[in-house]
């Protein structure tokens, strides 16, 4: 079996669902259930004995030691993190605690477990660390996309904390020989995406008749990948990746934020037209920019494509249509995640930002 951390969040839950749909290898899912963790994402596995959910912190050494000793996983896939840039600007401490200190404790505990394995299991073991393209900083228009050798230049407390965790993972390989793999992926979108992030926020605000807040001039560029393609890339790296190597993951889909918002509006205009027949674009509102906002991200995915033979299955057009439809079909999920805490966050992040 494998141990997945953060498997109740957006990407982790998609990964666990896909993993168990594709093969019979069981999953222990360790998740703290912060505001971003949601057991409703995993409701399809409620009666599935191959999924063992444990609520807990990656930094809880005793708990992780116990889980490793009890279940003897052959791999750890580490998704657990604080993941939202805006929240890292309002309050960086949780990011330092989970993304740096938590990853350090997890690495220490896994190293002790791995050191005690028999030679064959030791050689087969993997620690896969899920990271982000944001560690590479921001690109100017015309600069080449991020390759694995690009210098780290993180600009937000979030990306700095992820960069620190990547360095720790690298050091555990070089110093102790821990068999690690690191993936740095671009922006994901798809089912179960928490509506504090751009795409799901735009969908749920549009349907609720609320403003669609576009930061700054809306010309910042992100490189979008359908979440299930990220999951297939992680499975590929876990199976075939070379120890100690880094793999960038992306789908060659650079888009400006305003274009993304327009696409979402166009799809909603077709699939769920407004009662007044006007376009959802009427709701777009330009708001004060994110401090330190990175202008452009772009992933050069040639290494994973050429060396491991991975390719995404979705284009942006097919993926975004599926995503919008998923939010239309899952209105209960949406209303359950919009709790009092969620409303407080929206108030905190957007109050006083209108221009």
Residues that bind ligand NAD (CB under 6 A): 5-6, 8-12, 30-34, 36-37, 57-59, 79-83, 98, 102, 130, 132, 162, 185, 187-188, 194
Told to judge if 282 belongs to the known catalytic residues of this protein, a careful annotator would answer: no
| Window 123-142: residues binding ligand DAU (CB under 6 A) | 132-134
Minimum separation from the CB atom of position 188 to ligand DAU (A)? 7
For residue 37, the partner it binds in ligand DAU, ligand NAD, none, with Cβ less than 5 to 8 A by kind, is: ligand NAD
Query: What is the Cα Rg of the chain in Å?
Result: 20
Options 80-88, 106-114, 234-242, 270-278: segment touching ligand DAU (CB under 6 A): 80-88
Site string for ligand DAU, 202-231 (x = CB under 6 A): -----------xxx----x-x---------
Q: Residue 143 gets which letter from DSSP?
A: S
Q: Is 57 a catalytic residue?
A: no
- Whether 134 is catalytic is yes
d(CA 296, CA 26): 39
Helices (H) then strands (E): counts for the chain: 14, 12
Sequence-ordered list of residues with C-beta below 8 angstroms from that of 319, at least 6 positions apart, any chain: 189, 190, 224, 226, 229
**Rounded to the nearest whole angstrom, what is the least distance from the CB of residue 201 to ligand DAU in the complex?**
5
Q: By CB under 6 A, is residue 85 in contact with ligand DAU? A: yes
Nearer to ligand NAD among residue 109 and residue 283 (C-beta): 109
Nearer to ligand NAD, 10 or 146 (CB): 10
CA 236, CA 143: separation in Å to the nearest integer? 28
Closer CB to ligand NAD, residue 28 or residue 36?
36
Rounded Cα distance between 227 and 323, Å, is: 10
Q: Exactly one of 113, 158, 172, 192 is catalytic; which is it?
A: 158
Contact predicate 260/224, CB 8 Å: yes
Does 198 bind ligand DAU (CB under 6 A)? Our answer is yes
186 binds ligand DAU (CB under 6 A): yes
Residues facing residue 55 across a β-bridge = 31
Contact 319, 190 (CB under 8 A): yes
When binding is defined by CB under 6 A, the residue of 95, 136, 252, 297 that contacts ligand DAU is 297
Considering the complex, state which of residue 230 and residue 262 has its C-beta at the smaller distance from ligand NAD: 230
Task: Please state, in angstroms and rounded to a whole number, the distance separating the CA atoms of residues 235 and 81.
Answer: 19
**Residue 31 site contact among ligand DAU, ligand NAD, none (CB < 5 to 8 Å, cut-off depends on kind):** ligand NAD
Tell the burial category of 274 from Cβ atoms under 10 Å away from its Cβ (0-12, 13-18, 19+): middle
Residue 192: exposed, middle, or buried by beta-carbon count in 10 A (0-12, 13-18, 19+)?
Answer: buried
3-state helix, strand, coil in the chain (%, to 5): 50, 15, 35
235 near ligand DAU, rule: CB under 6 A: no
Least gap, CB of 164 to ligand DAU (angstroms): 14
Q: What does 181 interact with, of ligand DAU, ligand NAD, none (CB < 5 to 8 A by kind)?
A: none
Which sign, positive or negative, has the C-alpha torsion 216, 218, 224, 228? positive
Q: Cα–chain-centroid distance for residue 59?
A: 19
Determine which one of 57, 133, 223, 300 is catalytic: 133
Query: Could you tell me how many residues make up the chain?
Result: 355
Closest CB 227 distance from ligand DAU, rounded Å: 11
Q: Which CB atom, from 122 or from 344, has the smaller least distance to ligand NAD?
A: 344
Locate 99 and state its tokens.
């993304």
Q: Which does 17 bind (CB under 5 to 8 A by kind): ligand DAU, ligand NAD, none?
A: none
Q: Is 211 exposed, middle or buried (0-12, 13-18, 19+ CB in 10 A)?
A: middle
Task: Please identify which residue in 84, 87, 126, 228 interacts with ligand DAU, judged by CB under 6 A.
Answer: 84
Residues that bind ligand DAU (CB under 6 A): 83-85, 132-134, 186-187, 197-198, 201, 213-215, 220, 222, 257, 290, 297
Enzyme catalytic residues:
133-134, 158
């Amino acid at each position: 079996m494998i141990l997945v951390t953060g498997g109740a969040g957006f990407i982790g839950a998609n990964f666990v669902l896909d993993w168990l749909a594709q093969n019979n290898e069981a999953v222990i899912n360790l998740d703290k259930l912060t505001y971003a963790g949601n057991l409703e994402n995993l409701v399809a596995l409620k009666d599935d004995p191959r999924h063992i959910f444990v609520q807990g912190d990656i930094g809880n050494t005793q708990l992780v030691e116990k889980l490793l000793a009890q279940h003897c996983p052959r791999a750890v896939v580490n998704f657990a993190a604080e993941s939202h840039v805006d929240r890292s600007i309002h309050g960086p401490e949780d990011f330092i605690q989970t993304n740096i200190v938590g990853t350090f404790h997890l690495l220490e505990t896994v190293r002790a477990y791995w050191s005690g394995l028999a030679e064959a299991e030791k050689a087969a073991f993997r620690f896969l660390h899920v990271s982000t393209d944001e560690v590479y900083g921001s690109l100017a228009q015309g600069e080449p996309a991020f390759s694995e050798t690009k210098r780290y230049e993180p600009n937000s407390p979030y990306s700095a904390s992820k960069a620190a965790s990547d360095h720790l993972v690298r050091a555990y390989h070089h110093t102790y020989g821990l068999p690690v793999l690191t993936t740095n992926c671009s922006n994901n979108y798809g089912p179960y995406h928490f509506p504090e992030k751009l795409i799901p926020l735009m969908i749920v605000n549009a349907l609720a008749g609320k403003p669609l807040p576009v930061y700054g001039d809306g010309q910042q560029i992100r490189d979008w990948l359908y979440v299930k393609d990220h999951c297939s890339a992680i499975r590929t790296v876990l199976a075939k990746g070379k120890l100690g190597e880094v793999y960038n993951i992306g789908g060659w889909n650079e888009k400006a934020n305003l274009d993304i918002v327009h696409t979402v509006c166009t799809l909603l205009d077709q699939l769920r037209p407004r009662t007044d027949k006007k376009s959802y674009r009427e709701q777009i509102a330009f708001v004060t920019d994110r401090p330190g906002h990175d202008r452009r991200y772009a992933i050069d995915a040639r290494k994973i494509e050429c060396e491991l033979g991975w390719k995404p299955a979705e284009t942006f057009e097919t993926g975004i249509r599926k995503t919008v439809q998923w939010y239309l079909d899952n209105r209960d999920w949406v209303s359950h995640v919009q709790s009092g805490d969620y409303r407080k966050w929206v108030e905190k992040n957007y109050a006083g930002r209108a221009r």
